[in-house]
Amino acid sequence: MTTRLRNIVHSAAEKIPAYPAHERPLATARRHRRRTALVGGAALMLVGGAGAALVLAPTPATGPAASASAALPDRVGVPRFGSLHATDLPRLGPASVIFTGQAPNLTYGGEGSIVAVVGADTDRYRIIKGGIEAQAGEDTMLSPDGRRVAFGSGSLTNSRVEVVDLVSGDSRTVASGVSGTVMAEPASWSPDGRALVVRDTVPANSEHSAYRRVLSVVWLDSDRRTRLADEYEAAGSEVAFAPDGARVAFQIERKVSVVNMDSRLLSSFTLAPDTELAGKGAWSADGPTLTVTRRDGGSWSLRRIDPATGRDLGAMDTPAVTGVTAIRLLGWAADGSARVVAYQPAPDAPAAFDSPLPMDQRLAYGNVGTVRVLALGRGAKSPTTLLTAPQDVVAIDVAELVIHGGEIRVAHPPDAGLGPRFWYWTFLGAALIAGVAAYRNRVPLALWLHNRQVRQAARRARE
């Protein structure tokens, strides 16, 4: 190269602006990193939104109007793994039935009980995480209109009663005001659903070697509380409100007491052997008499007694139920027939149910194999089965609205499979893993995107 040519080249090169060989790639990498973060965030939002859509899409929201067509399903099935909770969207609305047991997907954490909730008019299932060995109808109660579920929760050192509203999704704790309680659980709803009887177990001495059973009425819309009973070393406490809500009958041990809502004792009497207060529907539909269940060998029948004296008024003209551990009266249908829960014995139950046995043992998890809801019609020769349940569904409660209406619908319980919550968390987990992987590899991704753009630009230039 001649001197003149070299000078011309140097002069031309000085006129060309210098390429920022270090700053430009860094700026490009930063730009692509921001784009990658935005794309990753958008992907997370998209996948999370898709998962939420899976949760929200199956059924439309429902409200109190669903109760107008409330009916008892003719069968129930266990909820799917990953079912929606009662507080999830879309809201379930009023329920027809709740049930508990040890069937698959009805337990959690080893000993906790899942409360299965079935919609009032369709087979929409929700779940509530309740206490240990919860028993629907005994310590887990569905309100008369099917809108709320009261249940015991917490630990042995922090037991409490919670109420979930199936329409609004709200949850609240109900306190009886009893101090020192080691176990709190609901016992009965008032007919209008405004008050709840809470049953507390309280140590009777500092050594915790003896306990008292305390019953209290708590009004949910105020701070009003009324103490109904405080019994030393008591076992059992069946509670039944009169239809007008002005009186409460409860059984503790063998004694039945009737009180008004100011806790004034109206009467008290001892039941005959093998006789029990029938259940939450123990009062007759018009209120003048109480109903008891009587065991005669291996059969159970309904009888009426005078709530003022306990005098036996004779057997009802309803059929007896045989081959069960016990029956409990849910209430009365509009046609006058009784609706009862029949507890079928477990195949390997150690107890002999045709002999005397405390009611709490008759209804214990190990002694019950499954449950049925029966109609005991006036003058009928045999019970009519209205609802069946899978094996190991051992307790059930039905809304009074459904009992009184008497409507039965053909049910289609959920089949085996996975529920919306499972898919939601699966999609969300996959999105989070993808987001973390994209962040940790952001520099290689940015360089790859830059090189890809360079290759595309070169391809377009050649074309």
Model pLDDT for residues 196-251, shown as the tens digit of each residue: 999 999 998 888 888 888 999 999 998 799 999 887 666 667 899 999 999 999 99
Which residues, at least 6 apart from 352, have a Cβ–Cβ distance to it below 8 Å?
none
In DSSP notation, 17-61 reads: PPP-TTHHHHHHHHHHHHHHHHHHHHHHHHHHHHHHHHHHSSS--
The Cα–Cα gap between 248 and 257 comes to 8
Measure the CA–CA gap between 216 and 196, rounded to whole angstroms. Answer: 8
User: Would the pLDDT of 189 be above 70?
Assistant: yes
Alpha-carbon distance 163 to 415, whole Å? 29
Least confident window among 17-21, 142-146, 337-341? 17-21
What is the average pLDDT across 433-443? 73
pLDDT by residue (tens digit) across 341-400?
999 999 999 889 999 999 999 999 999 999 999 999 999 999 999 999 999 999 999 999
Q: Which two structure tokens, joined as six digits, stand for 93? A: 């609305």
pLDDT at 96: 98
Average pLDDT estimate for 46-57: 45
Confidence class for position 425, pLDDT limits 50, 70, 90: low
Whether residue 436 is predicted with pLDDT greater than 60 in this model: the reply is yes
What average pLDDT is seen over the chain? 86
> What structural domains does the chain harbor?
23-29+36-58+422-463 (no CATH), 61-270+332-340+353-366+386-418 (2.120.10)
Q: Where are the alpha helices (DSSP H) in 338-441?
A: 359-362, 400-405, 420-440
Supply the pLDDT for residue 172: 95
**Nearest CA-CA partner of 329 in 400, 267, 257:** 400
Query: Which pair of structure tokens corresponds to residue 128?
Result: 């509530």
Return d(Cα 434, Cα 41) in angstroms, integer: 10
Residue 186, judged by CB atoms within 10 A of its CB (0-12, 13-18, 19+), counts as buried
How would residue 50 be classed by pLDDT, with cut points 50, 70 and 90? very low
Alpha carbon distance 273, 275 (integer Å):
5
